[in-house]
A = this chain, B = another copy of it.
């Protein structure tokens, strides 16, 4: 009946504000116990907790002790909740936000945990959404195109300010002393494995998507040296390390980590992984053409392909980046659920708030219900979903949002619905771009927090004119990590086999409504027209407005106008 009797594994999902541990039965993927630990320091984006010192704009740091607390708190709690004997646990897998990257000593000690560096912001892990390295990213991109670097096409023509090289270059340029003390520059995804196993490893996913490692190589010494003379040996000194395929065993649980977690010493620990990517096996959607959209505050799209293609505006394509042996494609939308929450919080007038209080639900639930009542096209609005910039396919974080069609009769549910539609149009642009680039999307599988909204998913089915499948698990990333744990522990030969046994999705849950889909075809044409006008150089007003804003705000705070 089963590969390992009632053996269990643990998947740990390290998110932005908390970590979740889930105990999963190896033979069928049943989730039998779960626990969450909220990070004590959360996201440090205003002040550094250790000193109270204010942080500059666009910074976002974390405290690595919070990650270790997840091992100490959430893991034993999940085991207790599952009611299983810890001796039945045969492996651990993890996934992390990315690129969340940190400077450490040769033994893995986080620099910020050295007392004399605790007051230095640059000694801390930079969370994925630390955006202060944009100038460095701009220079990396410009130089890459100037030198016709072969790897830049693998990232849709543009690397992100969120990634390893931009953040490291910022460190070098702004705090050379901390840079000098940095022996290893490592993803938190790999650092947590180091904490569990006592040995440094690097995983294929973050090395490829966030570390610009392509065809076995990082960017060259010449390239890096042209960015900054002191940066020439960065990759060789601080990154280079064998890269392991996903699902491989990274090592065995150390005595120390066994004490933290209450798990048996010596059990298998899988190599690090990323929350979005690990969700594909959890949905059992790893065949070429199965695009998994993990929809939450933002959306990440992951899909395997059998061949290498350059898709304009994708986040990246990495050999074995999702599953070993296939090309893993990633794309993204930088604002999705965030936009809906923004509308509910800041654009909904008193009537909807009163209604929410009366019914004892959230404002967003009221907007959801009101918006769902409308036929497609009735509000007369089109929005551009760029309130948090555009990741795919324009790769421009300095774009902004737009709403057109406003009248005095426009109400919050209209704007709310238009924002949801705009993100669906954004998804359709991504699908169309993949299709046009020779990487056809054959199925759309939805995972993430927004799977709870029937209204949003029906709307996405209508806009994309596709049946939507939905991941079966409500804890996709943790289940995906557990799948990797099972493979690392030898319970399954590989991730695809484990995904079939342990992952799953509900097939074609939402079918497009032909009447709505026809309306949306028309509105999508309008979206595309605005998308290209504002996003591809027809009118650079979004950039100019941002420029005026930045100068005015700087002048008002005593800087230069």
Chain A residues with CB under 8 Å of chain B are: 335, 338-339, 342, 345-350, 353, 375-382, 387-388, 400-408, 410-412, 519, 522-523, 526, 529-530, 533-534, 539, 541-542, 544-546, 548-549, 551-553, 555-556
Contacts and interface: CB of A to CB of B under 8 A. Distances in A.
Given A349-B346, A350-B353, A408-B342, A549 B403 contact: no
A411 B526 contact: no
A46 B548 CA distance: 45
Contacts of A375: 552-553, 555-556
A534 B402 CA distance: 13
Contacts of A342: 408, 410
Given A544-B526, A552-B376, A403 B406 contact: yes
Contact of A400 (B339, B349, B404, B546): B404
Given A353-B353, A529-B539, A533-B539, A377 B552 contact: yes
Nearest to A351: B346
Given A401-B407, A402-B403, A403-B402, A519 B533 contact: no
Contact of A541 (B526, B551, B553, B555): B526
Of the listed residues A401, A402, A407, the one surrounded by the most CB atoms of chain B closer than 10 A to its CB is A407
Contact of A408 (B339, B523, B553, B555): B339
Q: How many copies does the complex hold?
A: 2
13 contacts: A342-B408, A346-B349, A346-B410, A346-B412, A347-B347, A377-B548, A377-B552, A381-B545, A387-B410, A402-B403, A405-B545, A529-B539, A530-B541
Contacts of A552: 375-378, 519
Contacts of A533: 533, 539
A400 B383 CA distance: 13
Contacts of A530: 539, 541
Nearest to A561: B515
Contacts of A345: 349-350
B338 A556 contact: no
Nearest to A549: B380
B555 A404 contact: no
A555 B407 CA distance: 21
Contacts of A553: 375, 378
A339 to B, nearest CB: 7
Contact of A411 (B335, B346, B519, B549): B346
Nearest to A380: B549
Contacts of A381: 545
A179 to B, nearest CB: 31
A401 B380 CA distance: 11
B407 A387 contact: yes
Nearest to A297: B408
B404 A542 contact: yes
Contacts of A523: 545, 548
Contact of A407 (B400, B412, B548): B400
Given A404-B545, A408-B335, A548-B519, A378 B556 contact: yes
A534 B529 CA distance: 12
Given A335-B408, A375-B556, A382 B348 contact: no
Contacts of A534: 404
Contact of A405 (B400, B519, B539): B400
B380 A408 contact: no
A128 to B, nearest CB: 16
Of the listed residues A405, A519, A542, the one surrounded by the most CB atoms of chain B closer than 10 A to its CB is A405
Given A349-B345, A387-B408, A408-B387, A545 B380 contact: yes
Contacts of A410: 342, 346, 387, 401
Contacts of A544: 522, 526
A138 B379 CA distance: 24
Contacts of A349: 345-349, 353
A403 B403 contact: yes
Contacts of A556: 375, 378
B400 A387 contact: no
